[in-house]
């Protein structure tokens, strides 16, 4: 923490170094907290790749504002909103449009290519053992995320499902 002079110092060097070039205050406390949790759950590589999202948001205030709007709209989908309420689909479409725009910025900025390089370097440094088969009782990343104790309303969960469906269908 002392080396970086902020909570950024709680992150591994791999993640902290990626964020070191950002202007002071460009990252929100919530961004750092998210990266800390991601790093603890998914390791340095997972948090390093997720840092691309926050780097793009820090560089583009318009995307940050859009992110805040979509987050607020999702939070408004509380227990008083039915899963078939038209707002659920509207917010899902907004989330999908935002994520598509963010992915475009990440791709065009070179951040995605740098992430690919990180995966390649990680694979070279951490080859699977020769006897690597599927571990008995192992849980996939997607299953692990689904098991996490989110406190989302049924409407918000449905919104997330719809946004994923839109992403899978290639709809913009």
Question: pTM score > 0.85 for this model?
Answer: no
Can you give the pLDDT at residue 124?
A: 83
Which regions of the chain are under pLDDT 50?
Answer: 1-2, 4
Which two tokens mark 88? 């659920």
What span, in angstroms and rounded, lies between the C-alpha atoms of 151 and 141?
Answer: 19
Can you give the pLDDT at residue 2?
A: 41
Nearest Cα neighbor of 154 from 102, 45, 80 is 80
Q: Where are the domains of the chain?
A: 1-59, 61-123+149-172
Nearby residues of 33 by Cβ (< 8 Å), 6 or more positions away:
none
pLDDT in tens, 127-160: 877 766 655 566 666 666 666 667 889 999 999 9
User: DSSP 3-state assignment of 150?
Assistant: coil
């Amino acid at each position: 923490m002392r080396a970086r002079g902020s909570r950024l110092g709680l992150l591994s060097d791999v993640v902290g170094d990626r964020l070191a070039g950002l202007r002071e205050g460009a990252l929100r406390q919530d961004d750092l907290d998210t990266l800390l949790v991601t790093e603890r759950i998914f390791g340095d590589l997972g948090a390093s790749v997720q840092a691309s999202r926050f780097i793009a948001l820090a560089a583009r205030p318009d995307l940050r504002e859009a992110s805040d709007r979509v987050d607020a709209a999702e939070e408004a989908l509380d227990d008083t909103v039915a899963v078939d309420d038209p707002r659920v689909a509207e917010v899902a479409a907004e989330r999908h449009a935002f994520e598509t725009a963010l992915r475009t910025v990440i791709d065009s900025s070179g951040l995605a290519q740098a992430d690919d390089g990180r995966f390649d370097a990680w694979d070279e440094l951490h080859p699977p053992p020769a006897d690597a088969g599927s571990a008995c009782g192992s849980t996939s990343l997607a299953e692990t995320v689904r098991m996490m104790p989110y406190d989302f309303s049924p409407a918000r969960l449905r919104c997330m499902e719809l946004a994923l469906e839109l992403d899978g269908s290639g709809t913009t």
